[in-house]
Amino acid sequence: MRINRLAAATAVVATLALTATACGGGSSTGGSGDNSSPKTLTYWASNQGTSLENDKQVLEPELRKFEQQTGIKVKLEVIPWSDLLNRILAATTSGQGPDVLNIGNTWSASLQATGALLPFDEATFGKIGGKDRFLPATIASAGAAGKDPAAVPLYSMAYGLYYNKKMFQAAGIERPPATWDELVADGQKLTKDGKYGIAVEGGNVSENVHHAFTLGKQHGADWFDASGKPAFDTPEAVAAIKQYVDLIAKDKIAAPGNAEYANNQTLTDFATGKVGMMMWQSAGANLKSHGMNPDDYGVAPVPVPAGASGTKLTSSMVAGINLAVFKNTKNLNGALDFVKFMTGKDEQIQLNKTYGSIPPVKDAQGDAAFATPELQALSKVLGSSAQPLPQVADESQYETLVGTAVKNLLAAAAAGKPVTDESVKAELTKAQQQMPAN
């Protein structure tokens, strides 16, 4: 369920022109916050649970705790991912927004560019307990480099390589692959009798761009140059995308039908033993809902190139949800108290345990709830080998354009058309040419 919601979030970004951003333009809200309404707050929460009603059942008892501690009543609205960005953009334009809100962390720089969110400078971080409480990788996904973050991390996730232990044993594979050469070799051993080595969610734009980003980092692609201009069709980016598409086109360890997967079919195939591997975020709860026992699968870092070092060891993008404050809130002190409460150790344990995510707050990660083999593996990835997507104002356009380019290439591979360096470069050049001119 979580991947579907994150995919929906990115899909919304993909279809909207961030008119408020206007090449990094300033705020349209006018003015800044005050404390004229000190006893109330409005909070827009994203849909993290199985339904909007489920989120209310999870959050309302926690909000009552906050009210008992502070005397501040919080009006909660849970907004589906399909509507959330529309609502936020309308609020940045009108200035009529909530006091506190959840945002997808990949939106951070784009929303930061509107000027509508409160910057978390050193003094502001001091009011919520300090910046050092958070994992550095999660802070890096909260706004553009060199600027004060526009939000703070609330729920975190990372990609891992999930592998079916029984299928590995039957194929004589002793351990999960650590390099891409090993993954292809293992995948070929697993691909037989109507089953495949790995599944990819090829019709899902957000999944495509997440893997394009990770493989790009492994090949040395940055996607944007030092001045913030797109650099989508570099040799490094071409090599990364071709490697991913070749899982269908050349290596043939993913089924051609995967090019159309867009509704979590990857999860279903993995849980039902149709494939031996998948690259996914925090999949445990979904796999359990499909009847797969946690003892039947393992989780390892997504493979890297043999001999890789530095940023080429990147094995995931930093996934998750951030918590932001509208700059023109009428309860600035209360809003920061609420952020401090929601990112406190006790709430981080409670909420991330409920939602199956990873606490971005360091001292919450030691709780037994996060000691499962799956979450320990993903926590290690998040803390050591995950990188944030490009924190630039045009990041949302990058997501949709590059993700769609990969979708087109996977569809071509599935149809039996040759996928060459030249055809990959042509798709990426087309994507780059559609980026906004600043």
pLDDT at res. 437: 77
pLDDT at res. 189: 98
What amino acid occupies position 71?
Answer: G
Rg (CA), the chain: 21
Please list the rounded mean pLDDT of every run of 10 residues in the chain (438 residues).
44 40 35 86 92 94 98 97 89 93 92 95 97 94 93 96 98 98 98 98 94 98 92 98 98 98 94 98 87 96 96 95 96 98 98 92 93 94 92 87 97 97 98 89
pLDDT at res. 352: 94
pLDDT at res. 19: 37
Report the alpha-carbon distance of residue 435 to residue 91 in Å, rounded.
25
pLDDT at res. 316: 97
pLDDT at res. 145: 86
CB 11 within 8 A of CB 206: yes
Residue 4 buriedness (CB in 10 A; 0-12 / 13-18 / 19+): middle
CB 254 within 8 A of CB 199: yes
Within a 10 A sphere around the Cβ of 307, how many other Cβ atoms?
Answer: 7
The structure tokens listed for 226 are 């030092």
C-alpha separations of 361 from 339, 373, 402 in Å: 12, 19, 31
pTM score? 0.83
pLDDT at res. 327: 95
